Structure 1
C-alpha cells in the first residue's frame, strides 16, 4: 500500500499501486473480497445507509444467512436467478451478496418499473424468486397473477427474511472469476432492455481499475446516489471492498442535497453521470461549496464548457470515465492531467482495453475522422442473455461495437454522438449530443434533449426540448436567446430551428434522458413549439 497527498496537503493510502492497473485483481471474486475484508478488518465500516453503519462482519453474517435461506427455504441451486426489486436500502447489497455466495445469479430490477417492464424482466430472466418490499408487493403479485408462466415465482418480502437460526458462514458453492454473477439489464431506451451476462471477474476488474486510477484507499469515503439496480452502486460496493473505504449510499439523487450529503459524510470520491453535473451546477452557489473533503470525482458526459467552473466551485478535479454495461471501464482521463479540463476528451484506454475507431465497413479511420468506437479486452460481458443474434451483432470480430461515434485525436478520444441519435438534415449528419452540450451552456438551461423533426425540404430539422431553470419565463424571447447563444458554438446547420419547453424529462436508471418517451409524450400532449428559423430554400448548411 502506497501513500499520496491530497489537495489540502493531507495523505491518503492507495490500495492498488497505479503500476498494477493492468494486473489481474489480487482476488477475483466479489465474495472472496468480502471474505478477505472480514479476515483483515472485521469491525471496519463497509456500508453506510443514512446514520446506520454496517461493518464487514455484520454484512458478511447477514448476507450468509440470506444465502442459506435461498438454499434451504427457497431451494435455489447455482445458476438459478433471483430478482431484486428494492429501493436504495441495505437489503439490496445484502441480497446481492447472498445471491453471489450461493452461486445464484442476481437480476436487478428497477424499483420504478410498472407492470409491463416487470413482467418482461421476470419472464426473460427466468427468475425463480423475487425479493421486494411492502411498497412493491401489490404490483408484483398482480403481475404474477396475470401471467400464468410466472405463477411459480416465489415472492419474498425483505422484511421477512431474518432467521437467527441460519448459519452466519457462507454456504458451500463453487465460485470463480468466470462464475456468472448478474443478468444486468440495460436501460432499454429503444425498446425492451437486454440483459448483459456479467461475471465476478467483470466486477472485480472494474473495482481494481478504478482503485488504481483514482488512488483510493482505506482513508477515503465513497458516495453514491444512483439506484442500486443500476450498475454504478454495485461497482462502488466492489470498489469499497478492494480499497477498504466505506461506501455511503443515499436514498436517491437530489441536486439540491447531494453536495450537502457529501459534506455531512466526509465523502472524498463519487461518480456522477448523465445530467447530474449540470443539475448540480444549476443549484444556487453556496458559501459552503468548497467546504468538503472531495478529492476526486469521476463523471460521464460532463459539459465541456462547464468543466473548469465545476472544479473551481467545489475545489476537486472532475475527470471523464467512459464505459458501458457491456464492457465496464474502457477510457478515463488521469487526475493528474489538468490539460484535459474543458477539452471534452474521454482520455485514454485503460491498459486492459484496446480501442479502435472504425468506418461502416470495419476499416480503421484516420485520426480526426469520426467512426464507431469499438473496444476489445477485459472486462467484457459474456453476451446478452437469450439474445444470440444481438450478441453476434454487438460482439463482432472479438470487439464490442458500442454504437457511439467518436474521433481519435493524438491518442485521446472524443465522443461525437450516437449512430442512432443523429439528425440528418439534408446532406449533414448532426450529433444530438453536440447540440445538447451547446444548449446546456446557457445559465437558464437545466437540461436539453435534441430530436429530429420531419421537414419537407431537408428531410429532418433540429428540434430542442429544453428544461429551464426555476424562475425563467418559457416564451419565444427566451427560446431565441438560448438558440442565438449556440450560434457561436455550432455550425449554422446545427442550430435548432424548433424549441419546445418542458417542465422535466423522463429518465433512464442511469439518469440519461429517455428520448423515446420524450418523443411519445410530445406527440400525445404537444406543447408550444417555437419555430425560430423559417424554412429556407438554400442548400443545407448554408
Structure 2
C-alpha cells in the first residue's frame, strides 16, 4: 500500500475558496516581488527565476505595445516548440492586455491558415525554423498578408524597453486565451478562457495535491496544449519551479523525473500505459515523486503504477472547456483500481443524464454534464456550437459515465461507439481490456461496415517490442479478452500497426488513423469464430 505523507495534509476547504489573485499577470508580479531569485522555469537550455521572467515578460509586453501595436483584446498567436520563449510570449501577451492564441508547432500550411484566419490574430510570435512556413502562408493568402511576425526574442535584446509592467488593466474576467481543441472531428474550435479560468486551475490543483514552494513540477507535453499552461499557473500559485521537457518519451521520462528531482507530474491518455510497458528497472523507485495526477489511469494498472514508482497516482477529470471538474484526493485510496474519477471540486456540480436531460439512476450510463467554475466563456465565433454544448448553464461533455460508490466512472464517449446490431459498444471499454495484455502497447477500436450487423468491431493493435505481428498473436490477444467482455464486444478484425497518429494530448487520433488505413491499408486478420450468429 502506498502511504500518503501525513505531514502534507490537504486543506479541503481551500478547494472551495476563490484564488486570492485572479490574473496570471498578478501571480507573476506577486512571486517576483516575494521571491525574485527563486527558480521558476527550467528548460533544456537553462533555468530562469521569477524575477528574470517578470523582467523579460514586461520588456516584451512593452515591445508588443510600442512596436507591434498590440492593444487590449488583440489576438497574438504563438507558434514555438517547447522552449522558454513560449511561456515568456504567453505571459507577455497577457501583460499587454492581449489574447494568446497557441498554435501547435507541428502544424502545416492548412492548419496554420485556419487558426490565423479563425482567430483574427494580428501578430504571430515564432522562430527561425517556422518563419518560412509563416511567410508562405502570408504570401498565399491576401487576408493574412498583414499578420505581423515577431521572432522570439532573448531578454538581452529587449533592454531598450522598460522593465516595469505596462499600465494595462487586466482582471479575472479578462479573456486570456483562444485555446483550440485537438480537433479530432474536423477543424478545431477555440475555447475562450479567462485569467480566472487559469488561476482557478492552478489554485485547485495546488489545493488538491498539497503542493508547495519546495516541490518541483515536470511536464513533457507541447506547450501549445493546455496542460503545460495550467502547470505554469500551478507553479505561479505555489512559487515552485516547472521543468519542461522538449517532448514526451516513454523510454526517457522517468530518467528525467529522477534527474530533475520532480515531486509532481501530470500525464494523460496513453502515457501511463506507455510508461508501464517500459522494461522494469531497479531504479524505478529511485525518485522524489510525491503524487502523480493523471487523466485516464488504466484501472487494471493503477495499483501496479503506484507500486512500481512508489507514489500515489490520482485521477483528475476536466476538458479544455471546463478546466477541472473532478479530482481524487491523495487520501482516497479506495479509488485505486476502481476507474472512478473522484469527487466534484466544490465549485462544480456534476450530473449524469439521459438524452432528454433527466438524471439517470446510479449504476446506469448517461452523459456527464458539469456546471460551475472554471468554465470557458464559449467557443470563439461559434454561437451555434456554444449553444449546443452549453445549455442552461450546463456543459455537455460528450462523455458517458456512471455514478457509483459516491463517485463517477467513465465508460466511453457518446460518439466513440460501435453500433453492432442492436448493441452499443463503447470503444474505450474494449481498448482497456485489450491493453491489459503484456504484449500490447496500445490499441484503438473502431467500427467498420458490415452487411449483417451494420458495424463490426475492429482493433488496431500496436504490439510490444519483439512480439510477432501474426494471426496467432492476434488470436491469442482476442482470446484473452473473451472472459472479460461480452461476446458481441469482442473484435472480429485485428490489424497490427507500428504506431498511432496522436493529438497533442497524446490521445489516438482516430480520424487520422482511419485516413492512414484507407491510404495505406495493412493486413487485417478476420477472427470471426465458427458459426458466429452474433
TM surpasses 0.5: yes
Q: Could you tell me which of 355, 362, 385 is aligned with 2:380? A: 385
Q: Could you tell me which of 451, 455, 459 is aligned with 1:464? A: 459
1:517 lines up with 2:512 in the alignment: yes
8 Å Cα contact 2:4/2:312 also seen in 1: no
Hey, what's the Cα distance between the residues in 1 that align with 2:482 and 2:48?
52
For residue 363 of structure 1, what is the aligned residue in structure 2? 358
For residue 443 of structure 2, what is the aligned residue in structure 1? 448
8 Å Cα contact 2:317/2:324 also seen in 1: yes
For residue 125 of structure 2, what is the aligned residue in structure 1? 131
For residue 197 of structure 1, what is the aligned residue in structure 2? 192
For residue 434 of structure 2, what is the aligned residue in structure 1? 439
Q: Could you tell me which of 379, 396, 401 is aligned with 1:401? A: 396
Normalized against structure 2, the TM-score is what?
0.98
8 Å Cα contact 2:4/2:331 also seen in 1: no
CA 1:26–1:535: 2 relative to 1, 3 Å: farther
Hey, what's the Cα distance between the residues in 1 that align with 2:423 and 2:531?
15
8 Å Cα contact 2:458/2:493 also seen in 1: yes
For residue 425 of structure 1, what is the aligned residue in structure 2? 420
For residue 486 of structure 2, what is the aligned residue in structure 1? 491
Three-state SS of the structure 1 residue aligned to 2:359 is coil
Q: Could you tell me which of 130, 145, 150 is aligned with 1:151? A: 145
1:66 lines up with 2:60 in the alignment: yes
**Structure 1 spans left out of the alignment, 5+ residues:** 1-5
8 Å Cα contact 2:43/2:83 also seen in 1: yes
Hey, what's the Cα distance between the residues in 1 that align with 2:482 and 2:532?
20
**Structure 2 spans left out of the alignment, 5+ residues:** none
For residue 301 of structure 1, what is the aligned residue in structure 2? 296
Hey, what's the Cα distance between the residues in 1 that align with 2:189 and 2:323?
16
* RMSD (Å), alpha carbons: 1.4
1:170-189 to structure 2, matched below 5 A, reads 170-189=165-184
For residue 260 of structure 2, what is the aligned residue in structure 1? 265
For residue 3 of structure 1, what is the aligned residue in structure 2? none
Show CA shifts across 1:419-461 (max 9, x none).
1100001111000000000111011111100000111111111
8 Å Cα contact 1:18/1:215 also seen in 2: no
8 Å Cα contact 1:300/1:322 also seen in 2: yes
Q: Cα distance, 1:534 vs. partner?
A: 4.9
Q: Could you tell me which of 504, 522, 529 is aligned with 1:527? A: 522
Q: Cα distance, 1:237 vs. partner?
A: 0.4
Q: Cα distance, 1:8 vs. partner?
A: 9.2
1:255 lines up with 2:240 in the alignment: no
For residue 337 of structure 1, what is the aligned residue in structure 2? 332
For residue 222 of structure 2, what is the aligned residue in structure 1? 227
1:76 lines up with 2:67 in the alignment: no
1:479 lines up with 2:474 in the alignment: yes
8 Å Cα contact 1:457/1:537 also seen in 2: no
Q: Could you tell me which of 47, 58, 75 is aligned with 1:53? A: 47
Q: Cα distance, 1:20 vs. partner?
A: 1.4
For residue 22 of structure 2, what is the aligned residue in structure 1? 28
Hey, what's the Cα distance between the residues in 1 that align with 2:516 and 2:243?
36
Give the length in aligned residue pairs.
532
CA 1:223–1:474: 2 relative to 1, 3 Å: same
Three-state SS of the structure 1 residue aligned to 2:409 is strand
8 Å Cα contact 2:4/2:330 also seen in 1: no
- Name segments (4+ residues, structure 1) moved above 3 Å: 6-12, 534-537
Hey, what's the Cα distance between the residues in 2 that align with 1:87 and 1:62?
19
Hey, what's the Cα distance between the residues in 1 that align with 2:275 and 2:158?
42
1:499-514 to structure 2, matched below 5 A, reads 499-514=494-509
Q: Cα distance, 1:50 vs. partner?
A: 2.3
1:107 lines up with 2:105 in the alignment: no
8 Å Cα contact 1:7/1:295 also seen in 2: no
1:215 lines up with 2:234 in the alignment: no
Hey, what's the Cα distance between the residues in 2 that align with 1:427 and 1:10?
51
